[in-house]
Amino acid sequence: MNRRSVLRAGAGLLAGGATAMAAPAADPTDGWTRTSFTYSWQKPWDLDLADRHSYSGGVHRMWVNATDEPFEEGSTTDPRTEMRWKVDYRTGDHMWDADVYLPSGTDGASFVQILRSVHPSGTPATDIMLNVYDTGGGTVRRYDGTVLKTGAYDAWFNVKIAHQASSGTGTVKVYFDDSLVLTVADRGPATRYFKNGVYDHGSGRVEARFRNLAYWTR
């Protein structure tokens, strides 16, 4: 047996014949601190929250119709049922974390975003939005562009959005089931906060469900 064959045959073996184990992937929350948070609701202004939200068994279920009113009377924005996280920040490391379930047929809806509530004129209103579309068994995209996941319908998966915000341009990382799927720059200095639910940009009924919501900082 030549030296190369010996090396191939011995790959993965330690002294004494023990099998080498791959180091476990780091948890995205390693080094972070779980932090308390509160939230308020945004929903069609003319409806009660119970008309577009339910909570049972630790699961928040939110839905909205494209024909619903916006969250404020007179607003020209699309209809939504969303949690508005009351953890406004400008700098520092902040992470949104939840298990997400997207029912079949939900199309053209944002289910989580970082909204820039105070930002310089001419800059975008969000740092990131994750949208789901009725293709490929449920396709999750960054806005309506980069595909991050297919086959997303009717199954729970974990989503983490980690934002390293600064006084300049920061970095946003997205993890699905603790695997990094996207790293992008944010849109520059702003005051911002997380939102999750359904913000309907389509033409029908949309729904999303959330459990194990958590907020992390470091």
pLDDT at residue 112 tops 80: yes
pLDDT value of position 24: 61
- Locate 3 and state its tokens: 């030296």
Distances (CA, A) of 205 to 50, 66, 71, 112: 16, 6, 16, 17
Average pLDDT over residues 113-134: 97
Q: Where does the pLDDT of residue 17 fall: very low under 50, low under 70, confident under 90, or very high at 90 and above?
A: very low
pLDDT value of position 10: 37
Helix (H, G, I), strand (E, B) or coil at 150: coil
For 80-110, the pLDDT digits (tens) are 999 999 999 999 999 999 999 999 999 999 9
pLDDT at residue 186 tops 70: yes
d(CA 173, CA 26): 14
Q: For residues 83 and 186, is the Cβ–Cβ distance under 8 A?
A: no
For 19-58, the pLDDT digits (tens) are 445 556 789 999 999 999 999 999 999 999 999 999 999 9
Kindly tell me the burial class for residue 95, based on how many C-beta atoms sit within 10 Å of its own C-beta (0-12, 13-18, 19 or more): buried
CA angle 40/60/131 to nearest 5° reads 85
Place of tokens 């944002």: 110
